[in-house]
Structure 1
């Protein structure tokens, strides 16, 4: 049989272990808001980059050929289309990641905590 002194030591040890587990437990993500903001900025930058590149190419061709607004307008529109297409691809990527996270959590664990 165990003496009361040993039981008290075991309870203290269990309390210390529980406190250590709580400290080491995964915390809810505080940076989730920031990652969503980062994705939003990424999409905005993709759109602006497409417009800027289209403007640069169009303006350069207009200066080269001496036709000021024609190529600039054409390539700005193409840059806008490319930026929107890239934004949509990023949105699909984000949506795929968000749908994959709950699916990973719902899958049963293979052999863990069974038959202990």
Structure 2
């Protein structure tokens, strides 16, 4: 066996090994776990932000108008409704994204 022929065979073998590794590389579960936690925190923050903004607006109006609990209660409820609506919109967005990924994987597998 000559030296250039041996180098060519080794290069071909390395290319085949790398192709097999990339084809069989499993999706890291740690990334999936962190992405799910990130999505959960996003939803929690959206809910709390809605409540906080509603509380702030209601309390501010109550201080200005002198009706302490009235507007605060109303706007906290409105903030809760807005936070829940935003959470549902985010959940729908995530679900559509997941379904699109699964459809893409199914198309690649077929």
TM-score range, shorter chain: 0.7 to 0.9
- Alignment-derived partner of residue 114 in structure 1: none
The equivalent position to 2:19 in structure 1, one of 18, 21, 35, is 21
Answer with 1 or 2: which has the greater Rg.
1
| Counterpart in the other structure of 1:113 | none
In the alignment, the residues of structure 2 paired with residue 32 and residue 22 of structure 1 have an alpha-carbon distance, to the nearest angstrom, of 23
In 2, Cα distance between the equivalents of 1:72 and 1:64?
12
More helix by share: 2
Aligned residues: 104
Q: How does 1:17-96 map to 2 (within 5 A)?
A: 17-22=15-20, 27-29=26-28, 30-96=30-96
Give the CA RMSD over aligned residues.
2.2
> Hey, what's the Cα distance between the residues in 2 that align with 1:82 and 1:104?
33
| TM-score, structure 2 as length reference | 0.82
| Distance in 2, Cα, partners of 1:81 & 1:95 | 21
State the 1:20 CA deviation: 3.0
Q: Which moved more, 1:49-58 or 1:93-102?
A: 93-102
Q: Please list every run of at least 4 consecutive aligned residues from structure 1 whose deviation after the TM superposition is greater than 3 angstroms.
A: 22-27
